Amino acid sequence: MNRSAYYSPDFHHKRSVEKMNIQDLKRKAVQIRMDLLQMVYDAKTGHTGSSLCNTDILTALYYHVMNVDAARPQWEDRDRFIASKGHAVESLYCILADKGFFPKEELKTFSRFGSRLIGHPNNKVPGVEMNTGALGHGLSISVGMAKAAKMDGSAYRVFTLMGDGEQAEGSVWEAAMAAAHYKLDNLVGFIDRNKLQISGSTEDVMGLEPLDEKWSSFGWDVIQVNGNDIAELCEVLHQGPRVAGKPTLIMANTIKGKGVSFAENVPHWHHHVPSDSELELALAELTEELRVIGHE
């Protein structure tokens, strides 16, 4: 595919990705949250709050924006996604299973001995591009992929999701400099800006603000969005690069534990496993949200 197609006004209409409408995307995000809660509960381990938080971002990407094909996971022209925030893998696994990259039944093996569904992205799983988990590596990998696309004249885009606590890693900023230097406008970085990390507030652990100005000073086009608003995410992502020659950084302001009222903005839910009663209550809340979406 010639890279010039990426800049065509009709580019998104030519891509083969099957897009869901906004209401269906909202419904899908709720269903993925239900799946990941059940998966964590069954496994008795997982990063629950982090995965609930990033579900809307991944839903927008995989069901409305990215050009991927479960029947051809190694298709050369596929868009690439790197989960630099690798500990929040539960939502990614649930989405890949839902899209048919592997049988949904396999989710029941999550974190069990011998399972390929380990607690961080594993490239033995179809649809996972790279093993990640050690924070600070994902953006560097994505820069290499985006640079390769430029060199090959390929039209695919590269997306990476970082945590805000991850911004304390020096390798993030080395990669940020490289992306701007090589004018990688086919690269989109997300920061899941929920302002919490395992040991508390990001601003108490290692102050980040003004985070948007820092990324702008490194040569990125920075866009602030509500990272739990699927309609807003889709609108921004379909704009393509707003500034030719600049990588895009989407500051996705999110709520940790989103979708479960008693988990939202609670640091304890970073890797909390729901109890029997908590799971029952969480699933009831999400079932009610499905009902409300159906009446919108």
Convert the pLDDT of each residue in 174-233 to its tens digit.
Answer: 999 999 999 999 999 999 998 887 777 778 778 889 999 999 999 999 999 999 999 999
Beta bridge partners of 223: 250
pLDDT for 157 equals 97
Reported as a single tens digit per residue, the pLDDT across 245-255 is: 999 999 999 99
Three-class DSSP category at 238: coil
Percent of the chain topping pLDDT 90: 82
pLDDT for 1 equals 32
Q: Write the DSSP symbol of residue 62.
A: I
Alpha carbons within 13 A on the beta-carbon side of 154 = 17
CA angle in degrees (0–180, nearest 5) for 239-143-168: 95
Q: Write the DSSP symbol of residue 284.
A: H
Percent of the chain topping pLDDT 70: 94
Angle between helices 276-294 and 22-43 (to 10 degrees): 170
The domain segmentation of the chain, as residue ranges, is 20-294
Place of tokens 């969480």: 282
pLDDT for 18 equals 66
CATH of the domain spanning 20-294: 3.40.50.970
pTM of the model: 0.92
pLDDT for 13 equals 34
Mean pLDDT, rounded, of the chain: 91
Reported as a single tens digit per residue, the pLDDT across 24-35 is: 999 999 999 999
- Report whether pLDDT(268) > 80: yes
Task: Give the containing element (helix H, strand E) for 29.
Answer: helix 22-43
